[in-house]
Amino acid sequence: MALLSVTRTCALAAVLLVALSLCGCCSGVSRERIAVSCADSPGPLIPKFCIATPNVLWAGGRPDRNDVTWLMQQGIRTIVDLEIFHDDRSALAQATVSDSRTHQLRYYHVRDWEPLPMIAPSLEDDRVARVLAIISEAPAPVFVHCRCGMKRADLMVAAHRVVIEGVSAESAIRDLSRYGGAWSGPDTRYILALSQRRDEMRRRIAELAPKLKADAFVTCTDGQCSVSDHDIGNDH
């Protein structure tokens, strides 16, 4: 009976973690422009939109087709989706860029889970290394998003600052905490520990970089966008 009780308790805890990670973070986030951002920018109607590193890394919540249109018009060339179940392909295909230029964009889907920094840091390292390799190698600027831009995307921004830009963990944590997301104790502990593994992570990123493969490629011409699994060519 005791073993059964423990099993039920663990199962309930797992269900609660999944429920919180999938639906808990967005309850207080609207699609209005935010008052606080990581850098000066008017921003689109993307939840928690942030230009973390100009010309390199942007972040926020899930974009709809209008947001995708705006991002491409601003020059975004790569999108990284951190959501587990959601896929951006529909929004990408429905984007309508009105100018006469041809826009090309790469799409990567790196499924991340909010509790990983707390319950499985080594698994989170795998995802962080992949995302940072994409940011380092894919055409820039890169837009990284989770469901509402308050948790997983923030963690990737902090990781990029610590591992790639060489910023101190304390500075990255302070910046992202002030930004107003759902930053928590496990996130802080993960970034502090990550700073001690900076060289190891850089080696992993270098190993991953030549193996990267986009999940989809987007081409927009004459106002219409199409999504393909095939490479649109070398657009570095």
- Write out the chain's pLDDT in tens, 236 residues: 554 454 454 444 443 344 444 444 443 444 443 333 455 455 557 888 888 999 999 999 999 999 999 999 999 999 999 999 999 999 999 999 888 889 999 999 999 888 888 899 899 999 999 999 999 999 999 999 999 888 899 999 999 999 999 999 999 998 887 765 677 889 999 999 999 999 999 999 999 999 999 999 999 998 889 999 977 555 44
Residue 148's pLDDT is 84
Residue 8 lies in a domain: yes
Residue 44's pLDDT is 59
pLDDT at position 34, please?
Answer: 38
Q: Which structural domain, as residue segments, surrounds residue 110?
A: 2-228
Answering whether pTM is above 0.75, one says yes
Task: Give the Cβ contact number of residue 179 at 10 Å.
Answer: 21
Here the CATH number for the domain that contains residue 27 is 3.90.190.10
Q: If we measure between CA atoms, which residue out of 48, 42, 93 comes closest to residue 72?
A: 93
Residue 235 belongs to some domain of the structure: no
- Output the pLDDT for position 232: 58
Place of tokens 């989706």: 81
Is 26 contained in some domain?
A: yes
Query: What is the reported pLDDT for 99?
Result: 80
The 8-class DSSP code of residue 226 comes to: E
User: What is the distance between the alpha carbons of residues 27 and 24, in angstroms, rounded to a whole number?
Assistant: 6
Count up the domains in the chain and report the number. Answer: 1
For β-strands 224-228 and 216-221, DSSP reports them as antiparallel
Q: Are strands 57-60 and 50-53 parallel, antiparallel or unpaired?
A: antiparallel
174 part of a folded domain: yes
Query: Is 233 part of any domain?
Result: no
Measured CA to CA, the distance from residue 34 to residue 12 in angstroms comes to: 35
Identify the residue whose tokens are 């923030």.
154
Residue 234 lies in a domain: no
β-bridge mates for residue 143, sequence order? 58, 79
Q: Please, are residues 129 and 226 in contact by the beta-carbon 8 Å criterion?
A: no
**Residue 9 confidence (pLDDT):** 44
- pLDDT for the residue numbered 209: 95
